[in-house]
Amino acid sequence: METQLVESIARMDGSTAGDAVFKEMLAYREVLAHIMKTCVPEYKECTIPEIMNCIEGDIQIGDAGVHPDETNLPPKIRGLSTESSSVTENRTFYDVRFSAVAPSADGRIGLIINVEAQRQYHPGYPLVKRALYYCSRMLSAQYGPIFDHSHYENIQKVYSIWICTRPPKERENTITSYTVQEKHLVGNATEPVRNYDLLNATMICLGRPEGENYGGLLRMLEVLFGGRHSSGQVIDILENEYGFATGDDLEGKVSEMCNLSQGFIEQGIKQGIEQGIKQGIEQGIEQGIEQGIEQGIERGIEQGIDKERLNNIRSLMAKLTLSANQAMDALDIPAEEQPKYLEMLKQPDQKSGK
């Protein structure tokens, strides 16, 4: 196994865990080959080493702009430059992008493949629309470098493959692709598939090991990026289950990777606890206010009843010359409550001053 993957992980810190380092991990050729084997139909019958040999030139990692004034195609494709045509603020870059060749009935064909890392599946907009936009940009950016004038027959097929590490539960352990397909509205005229099958957006949503469909590529990516395994387990799974080649310093680097991943998990737990405490305090204050109001109302009603009874007791004692106990009996005040009113009667009457 090349050390590019584990060395990238070893450089992880809290600010780059899901960004630059994740991109470098995805750009490791053996990881890309496994992704292509599952998600790119053109490589279905190829072995992993064969697919690795199909990746052409350098793999661009976070340095190719997406939007029209930022786009440059992968280097070493017909002498293309890696420089953008202009410099703009708030630029958007492809995470990983590269070119590849693939076998077909017409011989070897060219492909342009983009792989993206994404934590949330619902970032505030439909993620599939963004993936399709990336596909469209990779198609339109071919004008000039790949084809010109009316030579549309030279357009290369594009793939935008998205790996979502924290998808909603209903999408966990799923891989879904979105393509252009022929649909007959009237009649049965057919077009060669290669003329319209030009873009493919694929969503890979990782999930927990106990979930349905966990295995194959989903398991491999979860092992790499899920942070649930020890270094020994990662090495064993990648080498024995997925045929990754062994490097001299593999064990030490994977150990660093796992320690860092565990650190991120512990940091997440800590943040979760702190957030829970904060929410608990806020909820406690809210509940305290509600209980206070409720108890205040109850206490107010109780004091109103006491005041009314006290006035009635005093009135009977004065008008009928009754003792306090006789007056309370006449008012049907329960015997267990009478000591309370006897104590109150010792206090001066606020109206009479007695």
Positions of the chain with pLDDT lower than 70, given as ranges:
1-22, 63, 68-90, 231, 246-272, 274-276, 278, 280, 282, 284, 288, 298, 347-354
Rg of the chain taking only CA atoms, in angstroms? 36
- Residues 67, 92 contacting (CB under 8 angstroms): yes
d(CA 244, CA 152): 39
- pLDDT value for 180: 95
d(CA 3, CA 9): 10
- Residues 131, 150 contacting (CB under 8 angstroms): no
- pLDDT value for 16: 43
d(CA 268, CA 271): 5
d(CA 199, CA 141): 13
The encoded tokens of residue 158 equal 């594009």
Residues 6+ apart with CB under 8 A from 209: 219, 222, 228
- pLDDT value for 19: 61
Beta strand 157-166 with 199-205: parallel, antiparallel or unpaired? parallel
